Structure 1
Amino acid sequence: MVSQALNGKAFEYAFLLSMKRELDKITNVTIISSKQLETAKEAYDTYPSKEDLDRAANAGIKVIYKLEPNLHHGSSPLSLTIQEDAKGREGDVRDIVAIRGENYWEVGISCKHNHGAVKHSRLSGTIDIGKAWFGYNSSEEYFKEVKQLFDELEVLRSEGWKWRDIEDKVDRYYVPVLNAFMDELKRLDNLYPDEIPNRLISYLLGKNDFYKAIAKTKQGNTTIQGFNIYGSLNKISSDGKKPQLKTPKVKLPSRFYDISFKPKSKTTILIACDEGWTISCRIHSAATKVEKSLKLDVQLVGVPPSIHQHTESWT
């Protein structure tokens, strides 16, 4: 597991501990044992500066408590769990989930350590991005464009090539793959008007509402974002307690305004949509040796102004 992933796991555990410490004062809290909990604890125990993680988690919890009164108000026990990574591949991006049996209430948090990526997806000559991302099959034109490129990479992979030894890898592979990807987005958008932008955000953010907690160690603060797409966040508690802060329901986009390369970049494209959404997709190899696929680091670089965003300092 790479260090970024380990740091993310460590932050998950710190956040879980912080939630339990605070909630133990006022309600009955149980942490559900699991293999993923052990993995997160191991990452936390080996993290060089646990105090920073704890401060980052405490700052985030302060904000979420003001948004979710059901965390500290309710008669039934509260359970905390760390979800397995497979949940993300199934469309649930939440790392930590708090659950009350009362009214079947739950809330999830996605924990990020010094980055805000929403998805890591792969492109290849066989992956049907249309089906995987939007529920519609990719076109023959798309597969025709990318297959020859990834067939070449498969040959290089079998010969033991390393990415650093391919001098023109960006122009030879990255740029044409991204061009084919952009063309396919536009193609699908023409075939299914008003649907693809909506489904793109749903694919990236998953099938559940959640809060994203981003710990920024250099800045010494934690940012909380509320992705209340389906309207399940920020509810009044069962005993009538109202949230201290509001996170309104967010509108999904229906139109692409622009899909093009980021200025002065050959490895990143920007997808601008209505309702304030802008997505960045950076293509990279993510490995030393050549593989028969390429990775997309996908981030939300623009979000609707209605999304609740609060940055809490902990320095």
Structure 2
Amino acid sequence: MVKEGSQTRLGKAFEYACIKALYDKYDDLQDVVLEITPQLHTAQHCFEVSAVKQSNLMDAAQAAIRVIEPLEPRLQYPDGDSPLVLSLQSDAAGIAGDVRDVMCIRRGSSWQFGLSCKHNHHAVKHSRLSDSIDFGSEWFNHPCSQIYFSEVTPKFQELREMRDSGKEIGTPAKWANLPDKAGDYYRPILQSFMDELSRLNNSHGDVPEMLIRYLIGRHDFYKVITDDPRRVTRVEAINIAGTLNKASKEQKPITRVPVLKLPKRFYHIGFKETNGKESNNTIHVVCDEGWEISMRLHNASSRIEPSLKFDVQLISFPSKLFAQTIAWK
């Protein structure tokens, strides 16, 4: 039995529920190919949870399909004899910029779409910062300045020395033992990050657009989010390139999914404020076209390491975003 409290495992279990719900829905109606891959075996293993949890996962997945089916007529109407191929993508695809977990493909045609499956959370990316990571190059294809590295390198070097000292004495250095980890590390590193983001934006006009492209991936997709306490599923259509919502020869989509515009400028980059008090570990980036991003910096482990991790949430989308919340059965 898989431990149910593991968010990563429940995420994989939800991926399996979504692909299983698609297969169960269409296998009796047409030729469906379920690709047997290591990713599928992993997700199936993670689905080995309690009967109640399995039922909830399937209810959430089936609700999502009820929303998506009218938007993607070629799920039901194949425009020929090409089978519907269902597959799970590897984690390496996400690292390479493709955030889709479940793929629906018609072989022999250009039609396909994917689902990004989220179990009780909305996070889109878990990027890291360190003195060896050039986030400008990785995110925007524009290298970070030496000013940025001269500011953050001493901070990460301090963390590295603490980690190495702990190894030498056989007692791992812990974040909990630092008197002010936020004030000493999170906040100054975030300030340097924000300053560099502004510098890159001043030198390269495509940084706001590239930031969103980096966070949401290189392909259009449907984001499927469970909300177990409310027993609902939310479906968001991230349709930037206009590849979603295509008609078949026999059927048009019942609802139009708008194409979203990418931002061209930053309106605000600063620490999150709550009741007039600034956060020490979270910043907000506000762009035009309705995009707003929350970026929380944190240590991914209890042990001190010379890197920090972002938890990124898209907290505001363009007003044209197609989003629907549907109750489970």
TM interval, short-chain normalised: over 0.9
- 1:203 paired with 2:188, answer no
Q: Which of 239, 249, 263 lines up with 1:253 in the alignment? A: 263
The equivalent of 1:221 in structure 2 is 232
Residue type of the partner of 1:225? E
- 1:34 paired with 2:34, answer no
Q: Which of 106, 118, 123 lines up with 1:117 in the alignment? A: 123
Structure 2: how far apart are the matches of 1:196 and 1:104?
A: 30
Superimposed CA distance per residue, residues 93-149 of structure 1 (whole angstroms, 9 cap, x where no aligned partner)? 000001101422111000000001010000001100000000001000010111000
The equivalent of 1:192 in structure 2 is 204
Structure 1: how far apart are the matches of 2:326 and 2:27?
A: 23
Structure 2: how far apart are the matches of 1:156 and 1:70?
A: 56
Q: Secondary structure at the match of 1:143?
A: helix
The equivalent of 1:64 in structure 2 is 68
Structure 1: how far apart are the matches of 2:54 and 2:32?
A: 23
After superposing the two structures, state which structure 1 stretch, 288-297 or 158-167, moved more: 158-167
Residue type of the partner of 1:42? H
Cα displacement (A) at 1:25 = 3.1
Q: Which of 88, 91, 110 lines up with 2:94 in the alignment? A: 88
Cα displacement (A) at 1:70 = 1.1
Q: Which runs of 4+ in 1 moved over 2 A?
A: none
Q: Secondary structure at the match of 2:127?
A: strand
Q: Secondary structure at the match of 1:297?
A: strand
The equivalent of 1:13 in structure 2 is 16
The equivalent of 1:177 in structure 2 is 189
Structure 2: how far apart are the matches of 1:183 and 1:301?
A: 22
Structure 2: how far apart are the matches of 1:247 and 1:164?
A: 47
- 1:268 paired with 2:287, answer no
The equivalent of 1:51 in structure 2 is 55
Superimposed CA distance per residue, residues 7-36 of structure 1 (whole angstroms, 9 cap, x where no aligned partner)? 100000001111111112322111101111
Q: Structure 1-normalised TM-score?
A: 0.97
Residue type of the partner of 1:68? E
Structure 1: how far apart are the matches of 2:108 and 2:258?
A: 23
| Count of residues paired in the alignment | 313
Structure 1: how far apart are the matches of 2:136 and 2:108?
A: 39
State the identity as a percent. Answer: 46
Cα displacement (A) at 1:159 = 2.0
Residue type of the partner of 1:270? H
- 1:23 paired with 2:26, answer yes
Superimposed CA distance per residue, residues 178-231 of structure 1 (whole angstroms, 9 cap, x where no aligned partner)? 0011001100010012x1000000001111100000001011100000000111
The equivalent of 1:289 in structure 2 is 303
Gaps of 5+ in 1: none
Structure 2: how far apart are the matches of 1:137 and 1:216?
A: 39
Cα displacement (A) at 1:67 = 0.8
Structure 2: how far apart are the matches of 1:207 and 1:303?
A: 17
Q: Secondary structure at the match of 2:109?
A: helix
Cα displacement (A) at 1:44 = 0.6
Superimposed CA distance per residue, residues 249-280 of structure 1 (whole angstroms, 9 cap, x where no aligned partner)? 11000000000001032111000000000000
- 1:308 paired with 2:322, answer yes
Q: Structure 2-normalised TM-score?
A: 0.93
Structure 2: how far apart are the matches of 1:200 and 1:72?
A: 35
Structure 1: how far apart are the matches of 2:56 and 2:49?
A: 13
Cα displacement (A) at 1:305 = 1.1
Structure 2: how far apart are the matches of 1:242 and 1:102?
A: 21
Gaps of 5+ in 2: 167-172
Structure 2: how far apart are the matches of 1:249 and 1:26?
A: 31
Structure 2: how far apart are the matches of 1:230 and 1:101?
A: 21
Structure 2: how far apart are the matches of 1:245 and 1:59?
A: 17
